Amino acid sequence: MSNLTGLFQTPINTYSPSSFGEVLEIVRTAHISKQTLYPFSTGLNLGYGSRSPVISGCSLVDLSKMNRILNADKISLNNPIAVIEPGVTQAQLADFLTKNCPQLTFNVTGAGRDTSILGNALDRGVGYFGPRKDDVFGLEIVMGTGEVIQTGFRRLGEQSPLAHCHPYGLGPIIDGIFFQGNFGIVTSACFRLIPRRPKEVAVSMALRDVSHLADFIDELARLKRDGLLTSVTHIGNKARTQSTLAYGVTRYLETECGYTPEKALAEADRAISIVAPDEWASLAAVTGNAGQVRAAIREIKQRISRYARVMVITETLLDVGYAVTHALRFIPFARANAAAIHSIRPLHALALGIPTDVAIDNLLWKYGRSDLPAKALDESNCGLLFVNPALPLDGKAVVKVIDELEIVAASHQHKLYMTLNIETPTSMVAVINLLFDRSQPEEVERAHRCADDMLACIRRHGLEPYRARADMMKDIVQDNEYWRTIRKLKDVFDPDNIIAPGRYNLAD
Ligand SMILES: Cc1cc2nc3c(=O)[nH]c(=O)nc-3n(C[C@H](O)[C@H](O)[C@H](O)COP(=O)(O)OP(=O)(O)OC[C@H]3O[C@@H](n4cnc5c(N)ncnc54)[C@H](O)[C@@H]3O)c2cc1C
């Protein structure tokens, strides 16, 4: 099933290989029989098509059983690289590091604990510290021909001292074509781990006056370029921030204040408008040694305070803040703050490399299925479409697009839920999610029309999405020089077009 709805076609077959050798066998057999294959790592590409192939008639290759950390005994602070198979999940790697090398963490995404590292990176997902693609190199790929290639210096063999440490190798770097590509099945890769810094704090910056949004974005961009904000800077609109808080706040009111679900729901809106009243609010991390963090915070405050209220969030602040506000929860203001701290706590942990299911639990709760585990979102009625434009780091240009996207959303009776993520020193991406009830055909249709109109809007501004849903491929991949060249590459790696036909490539 897919939460895009209507997209999923019954697969011809589902293979669940548990080793490289089995993948090789599957591809070689498919190559002979011309059976098309659609590989995925954990298949939780929620909002992008989950495990749905782009065109019908594919057999699925579910790689989740290939979940070994191949160099587990060699990972250390001096060797911060994990060689992982596609089925390794965020939770698995986080647990492994906690147990075996707690000085290391990694670039965690806000998707659930059971999502993969590699599948996410291969679709060019974005984690708390930046694009996952930048953390991955040394890929091992079974190509559509049934041949095997290793990129970078992994081609020298696993025993070479360069195999797992040098990200580029010698000669043309071909790693890039396997990200958002359909040239083969990636069976393992090197994944960069991150040494923990002595001090890690979050900085929340709430925009005071919405008419300064463009200047606010530009200043945040400068802070990122100057290396003062060390994570991705997330800038959420009010709808997004309030929606993120809803589940945790309501749960706090039910479990800690003894409210009935109805009363908790009614009070949650009031509490959220007390703690998150701002049209736009931003969150980023500052990491370093104590002196570096202190100096960075001083400069951030100096530069951003004219636009935003700045708050530095530390674990201690959350502990003390919660203890005090929770004790005073009979006062509405304190209760609202205690509920908010309760709600943001797991999100704050993302910065520490601890993955969480709360974002998906939030959706399950909205659609009345809190009984389901996060990985079963597709079994609920929650429909989800992501529309994700890549954006220049130019406040004025970005505000123009946002204004128009708001009009498009409203014309389809949708609220614009939007986060702007400053992910590189020169560009950012927006994440917009459209939610709908999949059991209501009218809602499904309306959400898809809205997504189509948003794509048209983005393009009117000369922009494109940075990541595409399976159902968008036909609009994204066009018959022009760029995509024709990509198709020619397919003839080298997979001449019979058996791997994920139509995925970020011309279908035939
Ligand atoms: C509430 C919520 C929050 C989210 N937050 C984030 C976030 O913070 N960041 C983010 O990036 N995404 C986010 N997502 C989107 C999505 O859930 C994640 O990107 C998730 O990690 C993708 O699923 P997966 O890891 O199972 O990848 P998969 O579904 O396994 O892989 C994605 C695609 O990559 C290709 N692929 C995967 N593995 C291979 C392979 N071994 N060989 C060849 N091709 C392969 C396939 O085409 C596959 O469809 C979020 C979704 C929701 C609902």
Residue 199 makes CB contacts below 8 A (sequence gap 6+) with 287, 288, 289, 290, 292, 293
Asked which of 311, 344, 372 is the last residue of a domain, the reply is 372
The protein residue with its alpha carbon nearest to ligand 1, atom 52, reads 111
d(CA 43, CA 50): 5
Asked which of 316, 345, 372 is the last residue of a domain, the reply is 372
Ligand 1 pocket test: pick from 3, 22, 44 the residue with the most ligand atoms within 8 Å of its Cβ. Answer: 44
Is the domain of 274 the same as that of 423?
Answer: no
Closest CA to 36 of 63, 67, 15: 15
The protein residue with its alpha carbon nearest to ligand 1, atom 11, reads 125
Is the domain of 367 the same as that of 351?
Answer: yes
d(CA 204, CA 224): 14
Query: From ligand 1's centre to the CA of 119, what distance in Å?
Result: 5
Instruction: State the CATH number of the domain containing residue 146.
Output: 3.30.465.10
Instruction: State the CATH number of the domain containing residue 351.
Output: 3.40.462.10
Residue 348 pLDDT: 83
Atom of ligand 1 minimally distant from the CA of 51: 49
Residue 352 pLDDT: 77
Check if 53 has its Cβ closer than 6 Å to any atom of ligand 1: no
Residue 6 pLDDT: 45
* Contact status, residue 508 vs residue 497, Cβ threshold 8 Å: yes
Residue 9 pLDDT: 60
Check if 360 has its Cβ closer than 6 Å to any atom of ligand 1: yes
Residue 112 makes CB contacts below 8 A (sequence gap 6+) with 44, 90, 355, 356, 357, 359, 360, 374, 375
Residue 2 pLDDT: 57
Is the domain of 184 the same as that of 246?
Answer: no
The domain containing residue 43 runs over which residues?
A: 1-196+477-508
Could you give phi then psi for residue 78, rounded to 5 degrees?
-85, -10
Check if 141 has its Cβ closer than 6 Å to any atom of ligand 1: no
Label residue 216 exposed, middle or buried (CB < 10 Å: 0-12, 13-18, 19+).
Answer: buried
Angle, vertex CA 408, rays to CA 437 and CA 419, nearest 5: 75
The protein residue with its alpha carbon nearest to ligand 1, atom 32, reads 119
Closest CA to 486 of 182, 57, 113: 182
Between the alpha carbon of residue 439 and those of residues 6, 7, 360, 366, the distances in Å are: 11, 15, 19, 14
Is the domain of 185 the same as that of 327?
Answer: no
Is the domain of 186 the same as that of 205?
Answer: no
Label residue 348 exposed, middle or buried (CB < 10 Å: 0-12, 13-18, 19+).
Answer: buried
The protein residue with its alpha carbon nearest to ligand 1, atom 22, reads 45
Residue 299 pLDDT: 97
Is the domain of 219 the same as that of 99?
Answer: no
Check if 281 has its Cβ closer than 6 Å to any atom of ligand 1: no
427-437 vs 382-387, strand pairing mode: antiparallel
Could you read off the pLDDT tens digit of each residue along the chain, which spans 508 residues? Answer: 455 654 556 677 999 999 999 999 999 999 999 999 999 999 999 999 999 999 999 999 999 999 999 999 999 999 999 999 999 999 999 999 999 999 999 999 999 999 999 999 999 999 999 999 999 999 999 999 999 999 999 999 999 999 999 999 999 999 999 999 999 999 999 999 999 999 999 999 999 999 999 999 999 999 999 999 999 999 999 999 999 999 999 999 999 999 999 999 999 999 999 999 999 999 999 999 999 999 999 999 999 999 999 999 998 999 999 999 999 999 999 999 999 999 998 888 887 789 999 999 999 999 999 999 999 999 999 999 999 999 999 999 999 999 999 999 999 999 999 999 999 999 999 999 999 999 999 999 999 999 999 999 999 999 999 999 999 999 999 999 999 999 999 999 999 999 999 999 999 8
Is the domain of 5 the same as that of 59?
Answer: yes
The protein residue with its alpha carbon nearest to ligand 1, atom 41, reads 186
Atom of ligand 1 minimally distant from the CA of 118: 38
The protein residue with its alpha carbon nearest to ligand 1, atom 2, reads 111
Asked which of 346, 372, 398 is the last residue of a domain, the reply is 372
Residues 379, 383, 387, 393: is their CA dihedral positive or negative?
A: negative
Is the domain of 430 the same as that of 481?
Answer: no
Ligand 1 pocket test: pick from 22, 42, 46 the residue with the most ligand atoms within 8 Å of its Cβ. Answer: 46
Is the domain of 158 the same as that of 37?
Answer: yes
Query: From ligand 1's centre to the CA of 194, what distance in Å?
Result: 21
Query: From ligand 1's centre to the CA of 223, what distance in Å?
Result: 29
| 3-class SS of residue 433 | strand
Q: Considering its fold, how many domains does the chain have in total?
A: 3
d(CA 397, CA 28): 49
Atom of ligand 1 minimally distant from the CA of 185: 42
* Contact status, residue 357 vs residue 365, Cβ threshold 8 Å: no
d(CA 133, CA 192): 10
Is the domain of 190 the same as that of 205?
Answer: no
Check if 113 has its Cβ closer than 6 Å to any atom of ligand 1: no
411-439: string of b/e by CB count within 10 Å (b at 16+)?
Answer: ebebbbbbbbbbbeeeebbbbbbbbbbbe
Task: Count Cβ atoms below 10 Å from residue 16 Cβ, excluding itself.
Answer: 14
d(CA 304, CA 392): 20
Is the domain of 304 the same as that of 447?
Answer: no
Is the domain of 62 the same as that of 131?
Answer: yes
Check if 59 has its Cβ closer than 6 Å to any atom of ligand 1: no
Residue 508 pLDDT: 82
Residue 482 forms beta bridges with which residues?
A: none
Check if 58 has its Cβ closer than 6 Å to any atom of ligand 1: no
Query: From ligand 1's centre to the CA of 287, what distance in Å?
Result: 27
Atom of ligand 1 minimally distant from the CA of 109: 8
Question: Which amino acid is residue 469, in one-letter code?
Answer: R
